[in-house]
Amino acid sequence: MPYPASMEESKRKVEETRLQRLEKGPCERIDEAERERLVGKFHPDYSKEQFREIKLGPNKGCSAPLEIADVLEGNSRVDPDKVDLQNVDYDVDVLIIGCGGAGGSAALLAEENGASVLISSKLRLGDANTIGAQAGTQGCDRAKDSPVMHYLDIMGGGHFTNNPDLAEALAKDSPDAIRWLEELGVNWDKETDGSYHELSGGGASRRRMHSCRDYTGLEEMRVIRDEIRQRNWHERKINWLEFEPAIELLVDDKGQVAGAVLMNLETRRMTIVRAKAVIMATGGLGRTHIQGFPTTNHYGATADGLVLAYRAGCQLVDIDTMQYHPTGAVFPPQVLGLLVTEKVRTLGAEIVNCDGEQFAHPLEARDTEASAEIRECKERGKGVITPTGEVGCWLDSPMIEIKRGEGTILRELPAMVRQFSRFNIDITKEPMLVYPTLHYQNGGIMIKADASTPVPGLFAAGECEGGVHGRNRLIGNSTLDLFVFGRRAGRAAAQWAKEVKLGKLSLGHIRKWQRELKEAGLEKMPVSPMLLPNYSNQGKPVPGFHPLGQESPYTPFGDRAIRWI
Amino acid sequence: MAADKVEEKAEKKIKMIDVYVMGKHYKAPEGLTIQTALEYCGYNVIRGCGCRAGFCGACGTIYSFTYDLTIKYALACQKEIEQNMVIMQVPFFPSIEAIYNLEDLEPEEGKNRLVELYPDLITCFGCNNCTKTCPQDLLVMDFVSDALRGDYEKVYEKSFDCVMCGLCAARCPQGIQPYNIALAARRLRGSYLTPAPQHNLDRVKEIEEGKFDVELKALKKSNEAELRRRYAEREIEPAL
């Protein structure tokens, strides 16, 4: 009996209403005006007290989540007076900071375009949010589809706040990104004639989601990582450093970005890299646990790239908007916050409340779906409460088996089946309990369509960059973003490296930053980038980390509490 | 009603259980995973932690019990701690991967690319340790023998959910690298052995030829009201 008795009664109601709901079909989608009212009232992006003004830097006066404002205003880990920039450890054309899907594809393209490449990876090569991406990658390659339709969906999904040039690039490059990955050896789900098996997704007007079972990101990352290694072993000019993240960018005396200071996480030694171009590909920020939300993100998702680029003078766009994935697992507590792929809904599962009633179309855009769940639980009191005090709605996965035939779930969602069966929940027969979880940073470093930033020599790709998705990203467009802008950044950086003449290396921008911190009275701010969350506390429970049954409603299982490393 | 239930449950005290991190004794609350238990005990992990969700294979762990020294395997982020568990992280394990260039590996009748790349394959004597080790419960030894027969399709099917943790290779007495062999097989299959997606290739060509440029340019120029109208009126294809 996987679900406790307190949840069984509600689960039974879901089962009782299932056939009736199947007959009736999903409820109507809400119109644009209603959607804006719903999101404005219930989405965490609109909890004013959770935001504050940034006090210095290019976004001075802009609003940001408290946790992000804190890291952006952090002090440097580097003392400019004590770093010897004469002793350069690596001298390369292109330095890539971060090695998920974006950094990886940037590395491959930069190398193909003649640059020598060094990758700095905070964890292992390929340890990134990419690897946990499940549902798929959008690509407008069916006859019924077009980049025009894709563009409209991207813009609408982002509430028309996107940068049109970036949205256009995303749509137009998408079929080629899919083709490129197949050429490298990615196994897309296909029909017998070779055409792609494509699914629909929230906010998409066409079926254009390419998937590899529900291990899409894992498959993409395994292949890209292997290609990087193979090229290195063939003595091509591509190399990497693991457990050695960047802690500051370097500039030259002309104000061009000219490399970075890396830190070996284990020995704490610094490494100086001189590079003619730098590509920022550090991914997201889920491990800052904005508003205390649990997250789907990997261990290293701590906004490092935002911090480094910001100090070097890059403006951030839409940094006050995060994506809360509507279906984060709530039960059992061991999986709290982990991603339940949207593909579950794409395949036909509905989200219902404690009485088994539908309250929103299952394929609304993510902000809308998440807001509807929060309303259902917080305002209407129709959520299901778990023994550890969490609240959630049911995601009725067994509907898929009835709609599409027995065996569909095991075939299409093996990762989800495995995840829940480890805790004795059979998602082919039982629904899952879900609630919004911190999933994605919609905005980020401002770039142009060639992935260049306003700071010469600095490029950005993937989740750390912003503007392409506006204030809300659609399913399947994040992994697409990695390959579209990763490849664009790789090409553009290699080209830049051919033309640029570097001057003398400097940390002048950090001296200036520290002066500004002092003037603003902020010199006591903790250092950033954060690098890793600290979940340990020398054996004592950290705040918000109480064992079940003590004063806090928080469970000891979620990754909620953090401190500075 | 719901609130009462929470309180009632909250009265139940959590059970603290004994675990041994690399031999050192700690008490940790029941229900934690090996990963969160390590953190609860005060360890701040650098290596041996990745996605924390069972996808990346960074946290391969071996464990045993104080009363049973048989070695068992798991992903630390996915395995719950148990009473008297002895935990050892495997943050790094050296692996040897064959060097190849995918472009030179087009499968040919009568040639087994996998044995060419990994001649050690033929030394498998069927001890099945790899399968017993796999935290994803894959039939590792089965796909090793599929690889030996050059059946790329079967290797793809059976190995697809591999998270590349490398525990199978760590346990192979013959030094075979099942997870790397499977990776090569899958890349070969993906790149060469399925029919080409003609619709995709056609679309790539259309885009290169600029087929959609005029319409996209017009859309990009249109004002927000017009965009909103087009968006609201767009026809939505039903889900499959």
Domain map of chain A by residue range?
5-30+323-438, 90-321+442-511, 540-565
**pLDDT tens digits, residue range B133-173?**
999 999 999 999 999 999 999 999 999 999 999 999 999 99
A443 CB-near residues (< 8 Å, 6+ apart): A316, A317, A318, A319, A320, A321, A466, A467, A469, A471
Ordered alpha helix ranges (H), A158-213: 164-184
Judged by CB atoms within 8 Å, which residues 105-124 of B form the interface with A? none
A68 vs A297, A515, A531, B35, CA distance in Å?
16, 21, 14, 26
Chain B residues in contact with A100 by the CB 8 A cut-off are none
Tell how far CA A420 is from the center of its chain: 22
A6 CB-near residues (< 8 Å, 6+ apart): A385, A386, A387, B5, B9
Beta strands in A370-431 (DSSP E): 384-385, 391-396
Q: Is B203 on the interface with A (CB under 8 A)?
A: yes
Q: What is the pLDDT of residue A337?
A: 87
Q: Is A438 on the interface with B (CB under 8 A)?
A: no
Which residue is closest to A174 within chain B, CA to CA?
A: B204
B93 CB-near residues (< 8 Å, 6+ apart): B60, B166, B167, B169, B170
Q: What averages of pLDDT result for each successive group of 10 residues across chain A (565 residues)?
A: 86 96 92 91 94 96 95 92 94 98 98 98 97 94 98 95 98 98 98 95 93 95 97 95 97 97 92 98 94 90 97 97 94 86 92 96 91 95 87 96 95 92 94 95 97 98 97 94 98 98 97 95 88 67 36 33 25
Q: Is A183 on the interface with B (CB under 8 A)?
A: yes
A394 vs A327, A364, A384, A428, CA distance in Å?
9, 16, 8, 14
CA torsion through residues A338, A244, B87, B140, sign: positive
Helix (H, G, I), strand (E, B) or coil at A457: coil
How close does chain A come to B191, measured CA to CA in Å? 4
Active site residues of A: 325, 345
ipTM (interface pTM): 0.94
Sorted by where each begins, the domain ranges of chain B are 15-89, 102-193, 198-229
Q: Would you say residue B12 has pLDDT above 80?
A: no
Chain A residues in contact with B216 by the CB 8 A cut-off are 147-148, 151, 168, 171-172
Q: What is the DSSP letter of A263?
A: E
Helix (H, G, I), strand (E, B) or coil at A54: coil
How many C-beta neighbours within 10 Å does residue A197 have?
Answer: 15
Quote the CA–CA distance of B83 and B17 in Å, as a whole number: 5
CA torsion through residues A67, A450, A108, A97, sign: negative
CB burial class (10 A; 0-12, 13-18, 19+) of residue B81?
buried
Q: What is the pLDDT of residue B31?
A: 81
Quote the CA–CA distance of A222 and B97 in Å, as a whole number: 13
Written as six digits, the tokens of A282 are 């550090």
Q: Which CATH superfamily is domain A90-321+442-511 in?
A: FAD/NAD(P)-binding domain (3.50.50.60)
Q: Would you say residue B114 has pLDDT above 80?
A: yes
Beta strand A90-97 with A270-280 is parallel
Quote the CA–CA distance of A63 and A61 in Å, as a whole number: 7
Quote the CA–CA distance of B6 and A125 in Å, as a whole number: 43
Q: Is B103 on the interface with A (CB under 8 A)?
A: no
Beta strand A238-241 with A117-120 is parallel
Q: CB B164 to CB A165 under 8 A?
A: no
Written as six digits, the tokens of A528 are 């950033």
Give the angle B177-B179-B180 at the CA atoms, nearest 5°.
70
A513 CB-near residues (< 8 Å, 6+ apart): A57, A76, A311
Q: Is A261 on the interface with B (CB under 8 A)?
A: no
Tell me, which fold does domain B102-193 have in CATH? Fumarate Reductase Iron-sulfur Protein; Chain B, domain 2 (1.10.1060)
Quote the CA–CA distance of B133 and B128 in Å, as a whole number: 9
Judged by CB atoms within 8 Å, which residues 42-101 of B form the interface with A? 42-47, 49-56, 58, 78-80, 97, 99-101
**Closest-CA residue to B183 (of A561, A17, A126):** A126
Q: CB B195 to CB A178 under 8 A?
A: no
Q: CB A422 to CB B78 under 8 A?
A: yes
Written as six digits, the tokens of B121 are 């394959």
Tell me, which fold does domain B15-89 have in CATH? Ubiquitin-like (UB roll) (3.10.20)
Name the residue facing A385 among B2, B219, B234 (closest C-beta): B2
Chain A residues in contact with B2 by the CB 8 A cut-off are 381, 385
Helix (H, G, I), strand (E, B) or coil at A381: coil
How many C-beta neighbours within 10 Å does residue A524 have?
Answer: 8
Global pTM?
A: 0.93
Chain B residues in contact with A556 by the CB 8 A cut-off are 14, 29, 31-32, 36, 40
Give the angle A531-A481-B217 at the CA atoms, nearest 5°.
140
Q: What is the pLDDT of residue B118?
A: 96
Written as six digits, the tokens of B13 are 């005290």
What CATH code is assigned to A5-30+323-438? 3.90.700.10
Q: CB B187 to CB A185 under 8 A?
A: yes
For A406-413, which contacts have Cβ atoms below 8 Å and span 24 or more sequence positions?
Answer: A408/A347, A409/A347, A411/A213, A412/A213, A412/A214, A412/A343, A412/A347, A413/A213, A413/A214, A413/A341, A413/A343, A413/A344, A413/A347
Quote the CA–CA distance of B89 and A342 in Å, as a whole number: 32
Quote the CA–CA distance of A175 and B227 in Å, as a whole number: 23
How close does chain A come to B62, measured CA to CA in Å? 17
Average pLDDT, chain B: 91
Written as six digits, the tokens of B76 are 């630390």
Written as six digits, the tokens of A362 are 């299952």
Beta strands in A121-235 (DSSP E): 137-138, 198-199, 209-210
Q: Which of B30, B32, B40 to mutate to test the interface with A (most CBs of A within 10 A)?
A: B40
How close does chain B come to A244, measured CA to CA in Å? 11
